[in-house]
Amino acid sequence: MSEEKEKKDPPEDFQVKVLHIIPNAFGYFKDIKDTAFGLVENLNGIGIKADAFTLEYGTSAKVMKKQEKEVQKVAPTRKYLGMFGLKEMINNFGDYHIIHLHCPLLGGSREICRFKKRYPILPLVVTYYRPVKTPDLFSLFVKAYNAYYLPKIFGLADAVTSLWSFEKPNFWWSKKWRKKENARPTVALVEHEEFVHLTQTQERVELVEQKLTLSAVQRLLKVYSECLAEKAEILRNKDKNQNQQ
């Protein structure tokens, strides 16, 4: 779990608060974790209060020290708070205006789905990065886990985004996902032309990744805004109906 380090400037009257849930299991999602934390860093830089929670395995002091160093490297303005269980974090979901899940992932999917069904008014934004890689036997289990849960998560999400325009999720075996996709198309945060232009430069990979996250921020802000506006309209209509009764 990480949160924004204290700043000297006084807080604004209202600040959108987003909790990012980022996968970090056995090194399978390191590229996703690093990119997601870069996105969190940039969101905080433009005034969005973005906290991050990693779905972690293992609670040893060695694991915690490694996690702290990794967070500091990819998100220098973040403060590592240690490790918390998902159930503990779910109890704090109501402190945020948006929950943003990064995937594929391992663990926590059932609990997240249950929470979303129970509290549908809290926007859930999902970002899909890539298919699960299968370098070893255990990764086949990770792939099967995501094949089962991701269509359910995407079916419950208020908005589905993909990092790249050419890496959009395609769960053709899920009727629920097909219906959801038709109703709410996947939003690509980085278009193919932008990706080609950036990868053809001679800059270091780290700088390219940083530019990619910066280019994604504006599109992501639009997604956040649309989700919040939609939920606000639902609440207004609910209040209106209650007043008329």
- Beta bridge partner(s), residue 24: 56
Q: Provide the pLDDT for residue 124.
A: 97
Q: How far apart are CA 173 and CA 28, in angstroms?
A: 24
Phi, psi of 101 (to 5 degrees): -105, 130
Q: How far apart are CA 65 and CA 47, in angstroms?
A: 28
- Any idea which residue has 């929950």 for tokens? 99
Q: Provide the pLDDT for residue 183.
A: 58
Q: Which 3 state secondary structure label does DSSP give 100?
A: strand
Q: What are the residue boundaries of the structural domains of the chain, listed by start?
A: 2-244
Q: How far apart are CA 40 and CA 48, in angstroms?
A: 9
Phi, psi of 102 (to 5 degrees): -105, 135
Per-residue pLDDT of the chain (245 residues; tens, 9 = 90+): 655 555 445 445 678 999 999 988 777 888 888 888 888 888 988 889 998 888 765 555 555 566 656 656 655 665 555 556 677 788 889 999 999 999 999 888 999 999 999 999 999 999 999 988 888 899 899 999 999 999 999 989 999 999 887 777 777 667 666 666 555 678 888 876 666 665 655 555 555 666 667 778 989 999 999 999 999 999 888 888 777 76
Crossing angle between the packed helical segments 61-74 and 30-45, to the nearest 10 degrees: 50
* CATH class (in words) of the domain with range 2-244: alpha beta
Q: Which 3 state secondary structure label does DSSP give 128?
A: strand
Beta strands at 124-128 and 98-103: parallel, antiparallel or unpaired? parallel
Please check whether residue 22 is in contact with residue 33, taking contact to mean a CB–CB distance below 8 angstroms.
Answer: yes
Distances (CA, A) of 75 to 43, 67, 122, 133: 11, 12, 26, 25
pTM metric for this prediction? 0.81
Please check whether residue 22 is in contact with residue 53, taking contact to mean a CB–CB distance below 8 angstroms.
Answer: yes
Q: Provide the pLDDT for residue 7.
A: 47
